[in-house]
Structure 1
């Protein structure tokens, strides 16, 4: 009985994490912001595609939406350089921006 409950809770948590990460990827793609990665600028669609690729390759290292942000969406795995994002003339670290978007999503989605 406890094992069944544990498996059900784990599946629900994984589904919620997948839903939140998909939201973040869609948020990035439709943001219209400019992303700065390893000295190059990228539009929001390219940035979302890059994050999708990193997620598909590194999903096993992600157990939560926060880990997705912290482990895959904030810095280059090759150079270690932090990513930044510029929206409406304001540049900030991508991790800070994505954590804020996740918090907003959770507060409006009831998650």
Structure 2
């Protein structure tokens, strides 16, 4: 009887752990929309994204920022679009090197500036 209680307790604990690990913490709905729109805007742009000294296409940048956003969400580390920009869109978490965005016919700018500009435009476009 004692062993079966221990086994049952183990399985209940494992099940609760699996459920909590699979549940993603989500930012508030407006922040989620803004972050998703920022990631999509980069992907739809014809800009290039510099990461660790290499320039990547907009679609590669979009995929990269989506992975970083997913990582932050899993750990409940992003509640606002500003936090997303700061924690995912500013610099490499591995090397610490700043990201840049270079659009056709324009000079490269820090990615935080580019993303911040897009966020401002999104907010002003929304009534």
For normalisation by structure 2, the TM-score amounts to: 0.75
Please say if 1:55 is aligned against 2:69. yes
> What is the aligned partner in structure 2 of residue 99 from structure 1?
116
Please report how far the alpha carbon of residue 107 of structure 1 lies from its aligned counterpart in structure 2 after TM superposition.
0.4
**What RMSD over aligned residues (CA atoms) do the two structures have, in Å?**
1.0
Q: Distance in 1 between matches of 2:101 and 2:109?
A: 6
Q: Deviations over 1:45-71 (max 9, x none)?
A: 000000000010112211100000011
More strand, by proportion: 1
Q: Out of 18, 30, 35, which is 2:44 matched to?
A: 30
Q: Distance in 2 between matches of 1:98 and 1:55?
A: 14
Please say if 1:81 is aligned against 2:119. no
- Structure 1: gaps (5+ residues): 1-12
3-state SS of paired residue (1:80): coil
Aligned length: 98
The 5-angstrom pairing of residues 11-26 of structure 1 reads: 14-26=28-40
Q: Out of 78, 81, 85, which is 1:69 matched to?
A: 85
- Structure 2: gaps (5+ residues): 1-26
For normalisation by structure 1, the TM-score amounts to: 0.85
The structure with the largest alpha-carbon Rg is: 2
